[in-house]
Structure 1
Amino acid sequence: MVAHVRGRLTTDPLNFEDIIADIRKGEIKIPKFQRPFVWKEDQAIKLVDSIARGYPVGSVLLWRTADKLNSERELGTFQLPQTDEMTPTKYVLDGQQRITVVYSSFGAAPTDPGFKPVYDLRNETFHVGTDALQIHHFPLRYVYRTTDLLNFRTALQTLDDREVLQERLDALIGAITGYRIPVVELRDLTVEEVCPIFERINSSGTRLSTFDLIAAAT
């Protein structure tokens, strides 16, 4: 008999601030059976550039369940907080690489390790940040940090081309904060119901067997 998930599947576009908040609360986790973060810098830069241009970057698939998988890993280089047994967890079944880049770009603290994209307001290009940033280099980790963002805006006022740079900064921040990524959430499905969905989605990528999913939950 074919099992239907109609009524237990939601499709809601979410902004990055909501996704980042769920990660910080420990509600979004990466199950152990997922492969590690493998994207290279140029792939991560392309994702950030696509977001800034308003291009579609694909959807994210989450499995929301009260069941706790035995093994979980960190999100890239970031430590995920522990949660109590009563808190439902949203396990990432598809979109781990994108979520990791999003969190590292917009959610991590400026001093945290990991991928740190910077936008050159003069050349209108993205690159990986260094310790020797110039005034017109905007660290994307400032997007949701009010104090850092205000300090950056103040520093821009010392430049001759400040009006043009300010317009470009406003456009960039508007593109990022206004972007909504499709999130598909499977709610309260059993392992047996999730297995064929997970297996079918991963059939075109790195093959992960149904056994990997069941083993993580037992």
Structure 2
Amino acid sequence: MFTYTNRIKPDDNSIVDYLKNLLDKKYQIPTFQRDVVWEKENVKKLWDSIYKFYPLGSILIWKTSTKLESHREIGGIQFADNFHSNEYQYILDGQQRTTALLTSIYGGKIADKENFDPKLYIDLTVDLTDVIDDTSYTKRFLFWDEIDDKDGQLKSNSGKTQRYQDKLIVSLIDFITNYSQLEKNLYENGYTNFEHPYLQQLRRIRDIFAYYRISLIELQGIEVAEVCQIFEPYISA
């Protein structure tokens, strides 16, 4: 039963759980949300903040029994919208961050970027120089078009292609689906010292998926007209 004591409720999720809830259709993005402006640099900066365990700001979730028209896909990943529930949860603020997180881990398609793979990789050989380092992320986080040397034709990428083949550049999704293999690969390639920088980097990303929390603000007891009025700055900003 709704009371004003739970009209605004804070919560949190891990990155993995938040995206799983999205893929399981727990969250929807209403069509009145503005279109996503997806840029490679912004995705890398987002992950740089996560890498440093900086907060990303809260995701605003509206809980309601009202069924609205929702986006059928996010970043090219299809979401069925022909289901019914006693309670729907709509993302009012956080679509950009959600799309960036989803596509950087699970891939997908980005509008106006044909044949571009949005999955993100991390180069384990790139160190964080200090706590205010604001440049190394451009080399640490990479998209496939920044790694692939196209069978030797793109000389500027040859070093990164070799590091990828040597298992020193790895995809973010592998930290979720196959972390033990990532660690095994490094040991088999001779990086057996527990304190080796590459293993430290590997464990750092593992810990991000284990311990980093996304802040959620859940709202309920609010009508559609109130959403359009109160949250117009979030929707149109």
For 1:122, which of 112, 120, 125 is the aligned residue?
A: 125
* Residues 1:187 and 2:202 are matched in the alignment: no
Q: CA RMSD in A?
A: 2.3
Q: CA deviation at 1:71?
A: 4.3
Asked whether the 8 Å contact 1:26–1:83 carries over to 2, the reply is no
Distance 1:162 1:199 in 2: 54
TM-score by length of 2: 0.74
Paired residue total: 196
Residue 119 to residue 63, structure 1, CA distance change in 2 (3 Å): same
Counterpart code for 1:139: S
Distance 2:32 2:54 in 1: 30
Q: CA deviation at 1:136?
A: 0.5
Q: CA deviation at 1:162?
A: 4.8
Give 2:103's aligned residue. Answer: 104
For 1:139, which of 141, 147, 171 is the aligned residue?
A: 171
Partner of 1:68, secondary structure, is: coil
For 2:231, which of 192, 198, 208 is the aligned residue?
A: 198
Give 2:38's aligned residue. Answer: 39
Identity %: 31
* Residues 1:22 and 2:38 are matched in the alignment: no
Give 1:208's aligned residue. Answer: none
Residue 83 to residue 17, structure 1, CA distance change in 2 (3 Å): farther
- Gaps of at least 5 residues in structure 1 are 206-218
Asked whether the 8 Å contact 1:60–1:95 carries over to 2, the reply is yes
Q: CA deviation at 1:127?
A: 1.2
Distance 2:213 2:175 in 1: 15
Q: CA deviation at 1:87?
A: 4.5
TM-score by length of 1: 0.80
* Residues 1:154 and 2:191 are matched in the alignment: no
Counterpart code for 1:123: V
Q: CA deviation at 1:80?
A: 1.4
Counterpart code for 1:128: F
Asked whether the 8 Å contact 2:29–2:70 carries over to 1, the reply is no
Asked whether the 8 Å contact 2:16–2:209 carries over to 1, the reply is no
Asked whether the 8 Å contact 1:10–1:186 carries over to 2, the reply is yes
Counterpart code for 2:48: D
Give 2:135's aligned residue. Answer: none
User: 4+ residue stretches of structure 1 with deviation over 6 A?
Assistant: none
Asked whether the 8 Å contact 1:52–1:176 carries over to 2, the reply is no
- Gaps of at least 5 residues in structure 2 are 110-116, 128-139, 149-160
Distance 2:103 2:231 in 1: 25
Distance 1:88 1:143 in 2: 32
